[in-house]
Amino acid sequence: MEAQIKRNITLFLAGKMTAVLGSSIYGFAIGLYILAETGSSLNFAITLILSALPRILLSPVAGALSDRWDRKKIIIISDFACAVWLIAILLLYLFATQEIWLLYTATAVLSILNTFYSAAVTSAIYNMVGPDTLQKAMSLNQAAASSSAILGPVLGGVFFGIFHLSVFMLINIIAFTVSGITSLLIQYNLFAEKKEKPEENGMIYDLKMGVSYVKNQPFIKNLIIISIWLNFWFAVFPVAMPYLVLTVREMSSLQLGIIEGAFSVGMLIMSVVLSARPEVKRKEVTIFGGIMAMSLIIAMLGLPNFPGLMGTSNSIMFPFLIGMVLLLSSVIMVINIPVMVLLQKGTPDAYRGRVMSLLETGASAMTPLGFIFFGFLLEKMPVWILMAACGGSILVLILYHLQKRTFIQLLRDADQPKTEISSQA
């Protein structure tokens, strides 16, 4: 069994790194191409919206489908469908039209297919590695995604001046094909419960049952509410950081790239650390401590704009921002990995896809609103006040739950072994 688990993890990481790296290189090149061809930041923003919107809207459907169907089949079909779709786009681009709408269409459909792939993969990790290796597998999964996210823009930037856009499409086609082949070899159902034949009640019924299950699980329901709150206030970071670095501190675009790249580096480092250590004990302390640290770091990120520090040289503020961003992304991993381990272990296989997807939808839905809200506020108030307000709002959440202690107890209960319950069933 141990050899099968190691084989699953190795194949999974190989496929994940290849797929994410290919998509990262392709996505970076598409963004640069659209900016170069149109000179419009709005057109670039449309590609971001087309990437994010299908995930927000379709995640619940994808989660319900992953609970209803064989997840391995969904993963394999999604991978090869992405490759086939890009082949069609490549042929149209080479022989029919090179209009921007073709790239928009390509982005939207890839996002839809990736939503179904992501829901199936996330809900299948437990079945692929089992409970004892879950933290390691999820940490390595994040490490693979982070390392590819670091390499993607670098390679994309290097290749963009050398290769035609069609080459980037071909790279992504190969990446999806390799990912699909590795998925064929993975035993995704190694620890899976035997699935009953789905009732003929339709997808709407499955979605309602998923929502009903979440409503009746206090831990999951509270977790979704907390995630919505955190993601809304955290949306200030990607909006305010470019403004702070480029406009307020007048640093270079290269320095901004290094600071933003530090975010993926921090996630990679902490993911590797968590993959090498035993499963986190007393998860409520780790999670709440991480959220408290997150609130303080977000507030401190506004210090380069603080009136008393505006005269400080950028030679000091540049490494300060790199350090803060490294800490911020590391803390996010300290929060996310234990939470995901709890969810994977505590959710029955029959509902796991819907629970994970509803959590993602709830967390992601507030992010676009946060972008608009904080983008508007940045024109009305100093960055340091806005960052302090966002950090303080997250801190208010911590203080509320420390006083009530309800969610802390729910975390402790969720972290308890389920052997006694399962033996009575």
Q: Which two tokens stand for residue 421?
A: 């319950």
Q: Could you give the CA distance from residue 268 to residue 262 in angstroms, rounded to a whole number? A: 10
Task: Domain 1-191: give its CATH architecture.
Answer: Up-down Bundle (1.20)
Mean pLDDT of 364-392: 84
Q: Could you give the CA distance from residue 339 to residue 378 in angstroms, rounded to a whole number? A: 32
Q: Is the pLDDT of residue 76 over 90?
A: yes
Whether pTM exceeds 0.85:
no
Domain ranges of the chain: 1-191, 210-415
Q: Among the ranges 159-173, 207-221, 296-310, which has the highest mean pLDDT value? A: 296-310
3-state DSSP helix/strand/coil % of the chain, to nearest 5? 85, 0, 15
Q: What is the DSSP string of 88-140?
A: HHHHHHHHT---HHHHHHHHHHHHHHHHHHHHHHHHHHHHHH-STTHHHHHHH
Alpha helices in 378-405 (DSSP H): 383-404
Q: Identify the pLDDT of residue 424.
A: 36
- Contacts of 417 by beta carbon, 8 Å cutoff, 6+ apart: none
210-415: same fold as 1-191? yes
Q: Percent of the chain at pLDDT above 90?
A: 22
Task: Domain 210-415: give its CATH architecture.
Answer: Up-down Bundle (1.20)
If we measure between CA atoms, which residue out of 339, 121, 304 comes closest to residue 230?
339
pLDDT in tens, 216-239: 888 888 888 888 888 889 888 887
Residue that wins the pLDDT comparison between 128 and 417: 128
Mean pLDDT of 80-105: 90
Q: Identify the pLDDT of residue 45.
A: 64
pLDDT in tens, 251-303: 886 787 788 778 888 988 998 888 888 877 878 888 889 999 999 999 999 99
